[in-house]
Amino acid sequence: MKQNLMLAVKFLWRELASGELRLLVLSLIVATASLSSIGFLINKINDSMTDHASQLNGAQLTLKSPHVIKAQWLSKADELQLKQAQMRVFPSMLVVGEQFKLAQIKAVSENFPLQGQLMVKRFRLTETELSEAGQTAVQAEKAPPPGSIWLDKRLVDYFHLGKTLQKQEPVEVGEAKFVADGILERVPGQSSSLLRIAPTALINLKDLDKTATVQVGSRIDYIYFFSGSKQALSYFKQWLKPQLQDSQTLIAGIEDVKALNTSLKKAGEYLSLAAILTVFLSSIAIAINTLRYGRSHYKNQAIMLCLGCRENQLLAIEMIKLLLTGIFSALLGIILGFLVYAAIILLINDLITDSGIRFYFKPALLSFFSGLLLLFSISLANLLRLKKIAPVSLIRNENLNTDLQTKLLYVLGLTGPVLIAYLYTGNLKLTLIFYSSILCASLLLYFFAKVLLRRLLSVSAKYHWINRLTLLNLERHRQGALLQITTFSIIFALLIIIFLLRNELLEKWQQQFPEQTPNHFVINIQSYEQQDFKQFLTAQAIKSNGLYPMVRGRLIRLNQQPVKAVIPEQAKNHNALNRELNLSVSSSVPEIQYNPSGQKDLPEISIEQSLARALAIKKGDRLDFQIGDKTIAGIVTEFRTVKWDSFEPNFYIIFSPGIIEHYPMSWMGSFYLAKEDKYKLNKMLARFPGVTIIEVDEVLKEIQLIINKISQAIEVIFLFIMVAGLLILSSSLSSTLESRMYENAVIRTLGASARQLRKCLWVEFTIIALVSAFIAIMLAEFSSYILYQQIFNINFALHPLLWIVVTLLAIFLISGLGLLITNKIYTRTSYQSLT
């Protein structure tokens, strides 16, 4: 074994030094580098988003409860060494002198917030400081000291507290008096689903009792914050979940910021798609090089056998070589991938300043083994072939190059890339569709190219610019030329499509939140004030998409059975069963079309698809909802997909018009407010004291930032695709080098000049380039036509400029690269080539 290892190392060393493994190693490096950098990136983005979400939420884990939680839960958290903070949220009147206003009081414990920053504009208490600075800059704070109250800007404006805030009369909350000495800029926990009524006033938890506002039966939320190590948190979460009551909710990380989550998933999908492409392209490059390697080593292996090497020994040596090559390239690839990832992170650093560039072990390991898998699956045919080597061919001086089971190689070779693509996207369907369409396209193109080439040759033979030598060359290399044309045109087509669609995709993605995406929700608008509210919005020039009616109801029965009894086991804890759902009615949601043949006696229901799937609800099922003390039933007639990241009001359940209007209904809507217009919220609340405003502007800003940054990252990843494409070109061109070298040397000894040879090669390469470019352009235009029409709904137009650019680029790349690579033919003497 040791001796095999030494031999393998020696061979490998020599082969690396001689450069014959260069392209193989490079392709493998590109494959692992793209996989690892994408892996690092996805992990990093996930991490920093979780951080962000924690900062928005004020902690990594938040528990909301309508009453005090069991002391045992808190001691469990202590046991797990989780940091804790608490908050009580309740509505109360603020009184300043004669004026009063309803506010949301948040009483927080000393160490609030655990995560993120509580940003406050503090007012100093001493006269001198006040006269000097008036007010100080915004700074991060913990809980207000006892006796202090910090107020939302809107409250400050309302009470006209202004600059000399602390000189004013005290702010009264219940029976306690506070000194207002801070303006709240940002309070963590505000942008999650916890948010309720603005405006907010923040006090210390120790002062809560003094206010005497909290009595038995009063409306109050108990919020508990936890932070700590990942393991401890997830353990705690698992431990807590089964003990939770229906009224208690756990909020962890980004899971609950639905819009953020959806955006991130999309980013991950784009990145994974880029990964599949790079893997596919590098696999081709690897396959070409392995094929070539196998061909050129057939003779060496026969010699080894002649020298008394056993077959198994030969196999062992080849395996070790392969393994070492794989390890070497994969390690280099991971290093390169890490560098690229680091560069991307630096590029988008304002997104992740918090935690910097982190190394992730899991994606590194995954891409390492993916690299090995890729290499071995593609090389498998080469290894199997070892058994078939006949050393006798050395004596017979037969052609030692042929006997390669290329079909087997293709089939076996595909398993690796397919497996990896599946591993990375987790989407078997997408993977299979991608590979099978590539396969079909290749076959079709192959035959198309065959016909095209034949016609081209027979036509061009009549013209003098293409001489007989070239024709002979192309005839002789027909199989190789066809394979090259097929590969090149697929690569070119893919690159064109990517180039065309990249902008479309990214723009579409970015434009899902245009400038004035609604960033505030308003709920609890009563039916009688609905018209007034609409007028108010128009009068204040606030952009809105209208108001939607809603009724809050709980799903209690499915097909007249208690719902928890008939749904699948794993759905028993589904969120939708534990709370009231927002029910709406279709007359105000214009895109809903009802089946006119539906049952007449019960209203029809359109249900959100994923909810229906989770609860195994089918069309035709009857659903009963409890609204107050009444119930309402309906028949499911439609499934609907809801864009959770649309920042429009979304409903799980929409009824057909008729019955639900008779229930106590309120209205909700969303609207856009720029930061400087936020004072209008005061007017709104003054005019409509009963409505609740939910501010999502911070979350939205985060999402827009993420999308922007990730788009930039994806652009960088496309570079990998380009490099992989170039590798294929040069691999494919140099793989025909050996036979060309020999043939051209023979031709030269017969009297051809270097100039003639070069011209001949140039014509040959240019024909290949032209045919490939032509097929690629047609394929790309056709595919983008379909994609534009089907996916993007954009009017399709041909891209004539692209035709010219691609054709020129193809000639430049193929002929240029080809001549460069085959340059050895002329620099070497014929004697060297012939021996």
Partner 1 sequence: MLVVDSLTKKVTTPNGELVILNEINMQVKNGQTVAITGASGSGKSTLLAIIAGLDSATSGQVEIDNQRVDQLNEEQRAKLRQDKIGFIFQSFHLIPALTALDNVMLPLELKGRSNAREQAIHLLDRVGLSERYTHRPQQLSGGEQQRVAIARAFAGKPEILFADEPTGNLDQDSGDNIINLLFELNRELGTTLILVTHDQNLASACQRRFKLDHGRISEQVS
Closest CA to 418 of 436, 406, 405: 436
Return the closest-CA partner of residue 305 out of 385, 408, 402: 385
State yes or no: residue 457 binds partner 1 (CB under 8 A). no
**Site membership for partner 1, residue 6 (CB under 8 A):** yes
| DSSP structure string for 404-445 | --HHHHHHHHHHHHHHHHHHHH--HHHHHHHHHHHHHHHHHH
> Smallest distance, Å, CB 296 to partner 1?
9
Query: Is the Cβ of residue 701 or residue 828 nearer to partner 1 in the bound state?
Result: 828
* Residue 566 contacts partner 1 per CB under 8 A: no
CA–CA gap between residue 761 and residue 759 (Å, rounded):
5
| Binding of partner 1 by 394 (CB under 8 A) | yes
- Per CB under 8 A, does 565 bind partner 1? no
Single residue of 20, 110, 185, 269 touching partner 1 by CB under 8 A: 20
Among 9, 244, 309, 315, interactor with partner 1 by CB under 8 A:
309
Q: Is residue 392 near partner 1 by the rule CB under 8 A?
A: yes
User: Which one of 2-10, 426-434, 495-503, 756-764 is the stretch in contact with partner 1 (CB under 8 A)?
Assistant: 2-10
DSSP 58: T
Our finding on whether 18 is near partner 1 (CB under 8 A) is yes
CA dist list (Å): 262 to 47, 273, 644: 15, 17, 7
Which distant-in-sequence residues (6+ apart) come within 8 Å of 410 by Cβ?
Answer: 287
**Interface region with partner 1, contact rule CB under 8 A, candidates 305-313, 459-467, 629-637, 755-763:** 305-313
In the DSSP assignment, the letter for residue 116 is: S
In the DSSP assignment, the letter for residue 69 is P
What φ, ψ does residue 663 adopt, rounded to 5°? -95, 160
Report the residue from 238, 353, 397, 503 that binds partner 1 according to the rule CB under 8 A: 397
Task: Determine the Cα–Cα distance for residues 708 and 610; give it in Å rounded to an integer.
Answer: 28
CB of 402 to partner 1, least distance (A): 17
Residue 81 zone, left/alpha/beta (φ > 0; ψ -120 to 50; rest): left
Could you give the maximum distance between any two Cα atoms of the chain, in Å? 112
Taking the least distance from each CB to partner 1, the nearer of 1 and 137 is 1
Segment contacting partner 1 (CB under 8 A): 22-30, 79-87, 298-306, 341-349? 298-306
Please select the residue that binds partner 1; options are 93, 133, 306, 791, rule is CB under 8 A.
Answer: 306
Residue whose CB is less far from partner 1, 308 or 800: 308
Contact with partner 1 (CB under 8 A): which of 10, 362, 613, 687? 10
Query: Whole-number minimum distance, CB 307 to partner 1, in Å?
Result: 5
Pair of tokens at residue 674: 């720029």
Q: How far is the CB of 504 from partner 1 (least distance, A)?
A: 48
CB nearer partner 1, residue 312 or residue 516: 312
Integer CA distances (angstroms), 669 to 114, 514, 551, 603, 647, in order: 33, 18, 14, 24, 10
**Where do we find the tokens 């045992």?**
72
Which of these segments, 97-105, 141-149, 238-246, 395-403, binds partner 1 (CB under 8 A)?
Answer: 395-403
Across 394-424, b (16+ Cβ under 10 Å) vs e yields eeeeeebeeebeeeebeebbbebbbbbbbbb
**Distance between CA atoms of residues 813 and 827, nearest Å:** 21
The site for partner 1, by CB under 8 A, has a size of 31
Q: Which of residues 813-832 bind partner 1 (CB under 8 A)?
A: 832
- The answer to whether residue 388 forms part of the interface with partner 1 (CB under 8 A) is no
Q: Quick one: 3 or 99, whose CB is closer to partner 1?
A: 3
Assess 401 for contact with partner 1 (CB under 8 A). no
- Compute the distance between CA of residue 567 and CA of residue 573 in angstroms, rounded to an integer: 10
**Least distance from partner 1 to the Cβ atom of residue 391, Å:** 5
- Partners of 520 in the β-ladder: 671, 695
Nearest to partner 1 of 20, 695 (CB atom): 20
Asked if 281 is part of the footprint of partner 1 (rule: CB under 8 A), the reply reads no
Task: Please say which residue, 5 or 346, places its beta carbon nearer to partner 1.
Answer: 5
CB of 55 to partner 1, least distance (A): 58
Contact call for residue 80 and partner 1 (CB under 8 A):
no
CB of 330 to partner 1, least distance (A): 23
Place of tokens 């196998």: 294
Q: Given candidates 391, 480, 546, 657, which one binds partner 1 under the rule CB under 8 A?
A: 391
3-state secondary structure of 795: coil
Give the shortest CB-815-to-partner 1 separation in angstroms.
28
Q: Which stretch binds partner 1 (CB under 8 A): 4-12, 229-237, 338-346, 771-779?
A: 4-12
- Strand pairing partners for 543? 672
Q: Which of 70, 167, 241, 310 binds partner 1 (CB under 8 A)?
A: 310
CB contact set of 730 (below 8 Å; sequence gap of 6+): 23, 817, 821
**Residue type for 545, please?**
N
Per DSSP bridges, beta strands 83-96 and 99-108 are antiparallel
300 near partner 1 (CB under 8 A): yes
Q: How many CB atoms lie within 10 A of CB 289?
A: 28
The 8-class DSSP code of residue 192 comes to S
Nearer to partner 1, 324 or 419 (CB): 324
Closest-CA residue to 829 (of 738, 733, 743, 748): 748
Q: Is 138 in the site for partner 1 (CB under 8 A)?
A: no
Stretch that binds partner 1, among 14-22, 75-83, 130-138, 163-171 (CB under 8 A): 14-22
Residue 396 near partner 1 by CB under 8 A: yes
Q: What CA–CA distance (Å, rounded) separates 153 from 161?
A: 10
Nearer to partner 1, 15 or 181 (CB): 15
CA 178 to chain centre: 48
Q: Check residue 395 for interaction with partner 1 (CB under 8 A).
A: yes
Which tokens is 147 given? 């006796």
Query: Of residues 284, 304, 380, 381, which one binds partner 1 by CB under 8 A?
Result: 304
Q: Would you count residue 328 as binding partner 1 (CB under 8 A)?
A: no
What is the binding site for partner 1 (CB under 8 A)?
Answer: 3, 6-7, 10-11, 14-15, 18, 20, 299-300, 303-313, 390-392, 394-397, 832, 835
